[in-house]
């Protein structure tokens, strides 16, 4: 128990720097996950393709989960609609606002009659969101992916790119930071900051930390 507490304490609010190539897959959508994109809300923009998700610990702790959630990988991150929309936009093949992911966003606003990122007008959302994405590209080109921090309570820590650590010490994407990770991959950044939300075991976590 003392060993367990020491590892958890050591990795609390811990930011790790890893290669974007290390994050190849998403989590497989199984009953072992806290929820999946499809059983959350199928109409949600990020539910274009199903994958599993584990909830963030707002106290910055890495959760240990030894169930069979990692018995196989989920879909490739590069197959996500979010990634393809940004890749095609960057390469000049298709403006972001014409992508399948952008269309899902506007349909979500129309269907649910709610705001998405502060916008309830689909046309205005598309125009302003594309400008925001261009600014994000420029920011990451200039500064790389930045760590998300807060002053005292660390509430913003959970907004960092989130991954989980498998039994084979592989990192699977955990549904937070789609755009930052996508852009980092598209630009070929060598290292990015990530947080580990969940690990298969203390042994795996210790091996990764060391």
pLDDT-flagged residues of the chain (< 50): 1-3
* CA–CA dist 123, 119 (Å, integer): 9
Long-range contacts of 113-119 (CB under 8 A, 24+ apart): 116/45
Range of the domain at 198: 2-209
CA-based end-to-end distance of the chain: 19
Domain total for the chain? Answer: 1
> Are the C-beta atoms of residues 190 and 196 closer than 8 Å to each other?
no
Q: Residue with structure tokens 């990122």?
A: 117
Q: What is the pTM of this model?
A: 0.92
Note the pLDDT of residue 143: 97
In percent, the amount of the chain with pLDDT more than 70 equals: 90
């Amino acid at each position: 128990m003392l060993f367990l507490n020491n590892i958890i304490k050591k990795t609390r609010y811990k930011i790790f720097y890893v290669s974007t190539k290390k994050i190849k897959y998403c989590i497989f959508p199984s009953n072992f996950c806290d929820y999946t994109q499809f059983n959350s809300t199928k109409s949600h923009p990020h539910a274009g393709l199903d994958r599993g998700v584990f909830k963030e610990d707002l106290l910055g702790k890495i959760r240990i989960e030894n169930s069979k959630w990692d018995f196989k990988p989920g879909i490739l991150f590069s197959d996500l609609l979010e990634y393809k929309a940004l890749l095609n936009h960057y390469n000049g093949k298709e403006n972001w606002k014409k992508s399948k992911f952008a269309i899902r966003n506007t349909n979500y606003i129309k269907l649910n009659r709610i705001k998405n990122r502060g916008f309830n007008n689909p046309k205005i959302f598309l125009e302003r969101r594309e400008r925001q994405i261009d600014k994000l590209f420029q920011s990451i080109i200039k500064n790389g992916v930045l760590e998300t921090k807060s002053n005292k309570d660390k509430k913003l820590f959970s907004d960092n790119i989130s991954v989980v650590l498998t039994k084979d010490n592989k990192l699977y994407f955990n549904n937070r930071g789609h755009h930052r990770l996508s852009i980092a991959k598209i630009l070929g950044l060598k290292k990015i900051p990530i947080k580990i939300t969940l690990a298969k075991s203390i042994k795996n976590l210790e091996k990764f930390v060391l």
